[in-house]
Structure 1
Amino acid sequence: MLALLSLAVAGLVVTDLIRQGQRLGLAREQLRAERILGHIVRGARNLAFERGRTNVVLQADSLVSEENRRFLDTRRALVDAEYGQAIQLLDEENTALARRLSRQQQMLGDLRQRADFYMSIPLSQRDQLFAGQWFNSLTAMLEGVPESVFLLGRDGELPPLARVSLHAFDLRNALGVESSRIASILATGKPPSVEQVQELAQLRGQGDAAWSSLRREAAQSENAALAEVVSGVDREVYRNFRPLQDAVLSAFADKRLPNETLPYYSSASVPALDMVAKVMDVATQEGMLVAQSEEQAVLREFTLHLIILAALVVAAAAILTISQKLSKSLEWLRGYMLGPPDAPAEPPVQGFDEVADIGRAAAAMRADMREHRRVEAELTELSKLNRLILDNAVDGMIALDSRGLTLFANPAAQHMTGWSMGDLEGRSHHALIHHSRADGSSNPSADCPVHRTLADGKSRHVASDLFWRKDGTPFPVELMVSSWGEGKDRGVVLVFRDISDRKRIEERNQALLEELRRSNAALETFAFAISHDLQAPLRTVSGFVTLAHRALADQLDATTAEYMAMAEQGAQRMGVMIASLLDYARLGRRGEKAAAPVVLGEVVAQVVADLGAAVDERHARIEVVEPLPTVVGDSGQVYSVVQNLLANALKYAGPDRAPRIRVIGWNQGGQSGFAVEDNGPGIPAESRELVFGLFKRGGAHQDVPGLGMGLAICRRIIESMGGSIRAEDNPGGGTRMVVLFPHSLALDSAVGTGVTT
């Protein structure tokens, strides 16, 4: 019955696993679409630059300059690279879009050849209609970008950040066409026609509509990075560049040329166009982050369901095998569970008390895990709050003259101090804001970093200081003081931020971390208790199976005997797995032992000596290249990492070759580490990350004894030290395991042993 129940639950898990697989496919499809979108939008942005610059050169009297040629070559290369990568990413379901982009690239190549020819000859010899044909053709290509992007959407729907990219692209296109038209008119030296003025007005309307949609979508996305660049567009386009455009259009409306020259207008348009382009970049990057987060979340759920399914299948198989020999005991237990209420307190089946203990222990474990997750969730929310505060903080800025009198204070400084610009201007900053210490005593100007910078001109960073508001209340600040001017004309600029929230958050973080440490300590203590409760019933099952096997050995056929042997081996393997999992759970606990310098060369020498029998048996050679670094950590854990890596190199070398192993280390360039190189069969590229998972082994090594936990333990140890470990190809054949330590864990000294065995 239990086996059937396990299989039924497994069926439900399989159904949900299929659904999770579909979600994973959709998430990866969305991630691929975001990447393609990024390539298309970046390609279109550079195509717009190419369109505008080529149009200006085609209508100029002179031949194309070296500067313009370099500009066009750079933009063309970027366009071709981005569109080429987009085409490569498109799969069979998007062949229409791939063909469309390919045809566009072919048409663009033909137009470029003609443009290069005309730009290399005098204006009088050029086809006067080609400039318009060039501009209109590329405009048509750019206007087709939204349609191309919509082909990537699922069921005609686009993610919000993709819509932001499209609106930014529409704004960039309208603004670019308008700027190109104005530049072309300025290049002719003649006032525009009525039709040209009408076209400029139409382009202005298109740009304003795109800007309105862009701001709406950006606000709805609630993305801090996007809000920042949209604010930059408002500043660069609508506050800086738009007045210049309005002045030019006003002159055109009066049928005259403006005072602004073409070079001046062209240079003024670049920051505005670049800022709009930055919106596309940020929207694309943020869209990629959203898609990647979704894919990772779905992948975690998919992996969890796979693990659950595997566990259920193994449980069903184990129950079916063992139940053949334990049916009487199970029936006895069933009778007890369904018996009268006045049944004995202790069940008449050996082992039932352990099962009950495991149930109670599991309930307690779940309660502890729920508490653990609650603390983790609270820490996660607190981390998000920290980031939100930092990302949206507005620093105060105050400029002082050589006497320390206030020249300027930005709105943030006024808001934080409570002093208006009228209150501050011409008055001593120190006397108003920095006059006293926390205890109320006077703060001499000689101790003030602002006055010291006024005196010596050196920049200063003060991590924590105290400013006073107009209402007489103090608040802590972090400030940076920099000088401007020289000698008697030297002044200073100080940038500061209110760190009251940061200090409160740091105190709260510390309290939560202490709570998490206490929770982890309690959980580990509980894990030791669970170790006995898990292994006791397992030993009971294993013992009874072994006794039954021996008692019935003469009565069993070959198949049944094989089943019994498999049950014994499975129980033994499960015991090893439980012990290994407990060891794994205890690894990486900072604070268990005080960190101390570990001479890596001595550790390697000890491991080589301990593996001497295995080295001799395999006729192996282990070469240690001096020197090896000295790191800070737990020597026992470092020994475990080295022992696992060298033992794996010996074990997986293959029966047809003598292992050749090389250990090298380094401590330079701010990075320390060591590598173990072997001449084995190597690890396939697709398995190099998989082998670091629990119970995972790369390649076809099922005949090699082991649980597949060694590298998982290595990674947990190294990552607990703040380092990393990875597998890669050995240039001479085989595998190269690379271990990196953070520089803070490495000492300048390095010790080698010269071990060769």
Structure 2
Amino acid sequence: MKLKLEKPAYRNSILYKIMLLIYVLCFIIIFYSGTALSNGWRNYKQAMDLITLEDIMESFSYALKSFMFERGRTNVILSAASPISKYNLDFILERRTVADLSFEKGFTLMEESYKKEADLLRFDYGHIQDLRQKMDVQMSKHRSQRDPDSRNVWFSACTNYINSVSNTLKRINEPHFNSLIGRYIELIINTLRFRSITGNESSLFTAAISDSGMLSDEEYSTLLSLRGESKQLWFDIRNSIDMLDSKELSNATQTVQETYYKEFRFNQDRLLDLAKNDRLYEGAQKEIANLSVPALNSILLLADQALEEIHRENQNSMQIGYRHFLRGLLALI
């Protein structure tokens, strides 16, 4: 005869079932709260990392803006017959000061997460600072007394450094490339590249007419090559902005069209035709140099606007992460 085993009486009680239900509910709440805490903290941490990346981009963007103007104006002065004027010296020194401060801020921010890259960029910038001192001596002389290679040495070194910074920024953005913020950062990098190329065009043209009043066949060929490069990059930038679907960025694009292409490029083409026919008038070099500053600045409005978009996205991500973290914490309490 088999004995029938009965469950303990307490397992059949209502109190036991209620307690079991409470334990299950507590486990679900703890699991949900832990998940919310984990997700909230992860989102918050990711947002903080992207804010650091935003700060790095902002610092190097400001630095390159001023550095590109210094590169171009120094190149023009090294081509001119006379020593540097006080106006141009003040222009260069002002940009140099801003570039120094912004680069150093960028190096400091970068070395926290990308020390190797920051150390290399800082080291290479030291060479630029040494080269500046040599160029200051050259600019203080008449053209006949200058080292004929100084202009090429200066411009090549600066352009190589600009490219090095751009490539480094592109590399540290790779983990975020497919995100919305990553696409904004890619737009900033392309805008800075576009500004560098168009600045090269402007400086080449202004330096050439300062030197001889006309462009050589080699200079003209180089100018056309740069224009082809900038045209393709501008096409890519506009496509990126269309995909981002930002009204503010579209407005900034329109500003570039009006200020750079319709005003500056129109006048540059007009002077180019005069230079090819040896009919350039006195003061043309100063005229186009003055037009270049607002025109090239208009390009950088795109980078500024993209930085604002990144800031807005980062703040939104931080708030979402904070709310998720707080919700999980309150659930535990």
Normalised by the length of structure 2, the TM-score is 0.86
> Which of 274, 278, 281 is 1:256 aligned to?
278
| 1:133-167 deviation line (CA, Å, top 9, x unaligned) | 00111011112232121133152616222222122
Identify the match of residue 89 of structure 1 among 109, 112, 119. 109
Q: 2:238 aligned with 1:218, yes or no?
A: no
Structure 1 range deviating more: 27-36 or 242-251: 242-251
- Does structure 2 retain, via aligned residues, the 8 Å contact 1:36–1:90? yes
> Where do 1:554-633 residues align within 5 Å?
none
Question: Partner of 2:257 in structure 1?
Answer: 234
Task: Identify, as 1 or 2, the structure richer in helix.
Answer: 2
Cα offsets for 1:434-460 (capped at 9, x unmatched): xxxxxxxxxxxxxxxxxxxxxxxxxxx
The equivalent of 1:139 in structure 2 is: 159
Taking the aligned partners of 1:89 and 1:191, their CA distance within structure 2 comes to 45
Distance in 2 between the 1:70 and 1:190 partners? Answer: 25
- Contact 2:35–2:328 (Cα < 8 Å) also in 1: no
> Which letter does structure 2 place at the counterpart of 1:28?
M
Shift of 1:272: 1.0
Query: Where does residue 232 of structure 2 map in the other structure?
Result: 209
- How far apart, CA to CA, are the structure 1 residues paired with 2:278 and 2:315? 54
Corresponding residue number in structure 2 for 1:79: 99
Cα separation, 2, equivalents of 1:174 and 1:124: 29
Q: Counterparts of 2:174 and 2:46 in 1: how far apart (Å)?
A: 9
CA distance in 2, matches of 1:257, 1:103: 46
2:83 is aligned with 1:60 = no
Amino acid at match of 1:15: T
In structure 2, the residue matched to 1:179 is 202
Counterpart residue type for residue 256 of structure 1 = D
**Structure 1 residues 61, 44: CA separation in 2 closer, same or farther (over 3 Å shift)?**
same
Q: 1:194 to 1:255 in 2, by over 3 A?
A: farther
Separation in 2 of the partners of 1:141 and 1:37? 16
Shift of 1:65: 1.8
Q: Amino acid of the residue matched to residue 215 of structure 1?
A: R
C-alpha distance in 2, partners of 1:128/1:243? 31
Q: Does the CA contact (< 8 Å) of 1:163 and 1:217 recur in 2?
A: no
Offset, 1:3: 4.1
For residues 291-325 of structure 1, give each alpha carbon's deviation from its aligned partner in whole angstroms, at most 9, with x where no partner exists. 1221222122112212212x2xxxxxxxxxxxxxx
Q: 3-state SS of the aligned residue for 1:239?
A: helix
Match of 2:15 in 1: none
Alignment-mate amino acid for residue 80 of structure 1:
D
Residues paired across the two proteins, number = 309
**Stretches of structure 2 lacking an aligned partner (at least 5 in a row):** 1-19
**What is the alpha-carbon distance in structure 1 between the residues aligned to residue 218 and residue 45 of structure 2?**
52
Kept after mapping to 1: 8 A contact 2:39/2:324? no
The whole-number CA distance in structure 2 between the counterparts of 1:101 and 1:165 is: 19
How do 1:313-462 and structure 2 match up within 5 A? Answer: none
Q: Which residue of 2 aligns with 1:34?
A: 54
CA distance in 2, matches of 1:128, 1:81: 31
Pick closer, same or farther for the CA change 1:289–1:239 going to 2, 3 Å. same
- Which residue of the partner structure matches residue 121 of structure 1? 141
CA positional deviation for 1:276: 0.7
8 A contact 1:237–1:272 mirrored in 2:
yes
Tell me which residue corresponds to 1:539: none
When Rg is computed on C-alpha atoms for both structures, the one with the higher figure is 1
**Does 2:316 align with 1:293?**
yes
> Is the CA contact (8 Å cut-off) linking 2:70 and 2:95 kept in structure 1?
yes
SS at match of 1:155: helix
2: distance between equivalents of 1:117 and 1:128? 13
Contact 1:55/1:134 (CA < 8 Å) preserved in 2? yes
**Correspondence for 1:196 among 219, 224, 229:** 219
> Are the equivalent residues in 1 in contact too, given 2:74–2:92 (CA < 8 A)?
yes
Give the letter for the 2:225 counterpart: Q
Structure 1 residue 184: deviation in Å?
A: 0.9
Aligned residue identity for 1:143: N
Alignment partner, residue 437 of structure 1: none
Counterparts in 2 of 1:129 and 1:137: CA distance versus 1, 3 Å: same
> Tell me, what secondary structure is at the counterpart of 1:64?
coil
Cα distance in 2 for residues equivalent to 1:262 and 1:249? 11
User: Which residue in the other structure is 1:376 paired with?
Assistant: none
Aligned-pair distance for 1:52? 0.7
Find the residue that maps to 1:62 and give its secondary structure. Answer: coil
Post-superposition CA distance 1:541-568 (Å, at most 9, x none): xxxxxxxxxxxxxxxxxxxxxxxxxxxx
Query: Which position in structure 2 is the counterpart of 1:23?
Result: 43
Q: Is the 8 A contact 1:174 1:203 kept in 2?
A: yes
Q: Give the whole-Å Cα distance in 2 for the aligned partners of 1:80 and 1:71.
A: 15
In structure 1, distance between residues paired with 2:123 and 2:277 = 42
> In 1, Cα distance between the equivalents of 2:246 and 2:111?
30
Deviations 1:681-733 (A, max 9, x none): xxxxxxxxxxxxxxxxxxxxxxxxxxxxxxxxxxxxxxxxxxxxxxxxxxxxx
Q: Give the 3-state SS of the residue equivalent to 1:256 in structure 2.
A: coil
Partner of 1:642: none
2: CA distance, partners of 1:298 / 1:8 = 21
Does residue 266 (structure 1) correspond to residue 289 (structure 2)? The answer is: yes
Which amino acid in 1 is paired with 2:159? T
Q: Specify the SS of the correspondent of 1:159.
A: helix
Structure 2: distance between partners of 1:145 and 1:75: 18
Aligned partners of 1:279, 1:128: CA distance in 2, in Å? 37
TM-score computed with the length of structure 1 as normaliser: 0.39
Partner amino acid, structure 1, of 2:229 = Q
- The one-letter amino acid of 2:72's match is G
Percent of paired sites with the same residue: 25
Counterpart CA distance in 2 for 1:170 and 1:150 is 11
Compute the displacement of 1:8 (Å).
4.3
Q: Which amino acid aligns with 1:102?
A: R
Task: Return closer, same or farther for 1:174/1:154 CA change in 2, 3 Å cut-off.
Answer: closer
Structure having the higher strand fraction is 1
Residue 357 of structure 1 corresponds to which residue in structure 2? none
**Alignment partner for residue 247 of structure 1, among 237, 251, 270?**
270
Larger RCO, structure (CA 8 Å, separation 6 or more): 2
Q: Structure 1 regions of 5+ residues with no counterpart?
A: 312-757
Q: Write the deviation string for residues 202-235 of structure 1: whole angstroms up to 9, x where unpaired.
A: 1101111121112111222222222211111111
1:304 corresponds to which residue? 327
1:262 to partner: Cα distance: 0.3
- CA deviations 1:579-613 (Å, max 9, x no partner) are xxxxxxxxxxxxxxxxxxxxxxxxxxxxxxxxxxx
| SS of residue matched to 1:144 | helix
For residue 112 of structure 1, the aligned residue among 110, 113, 132 is 132
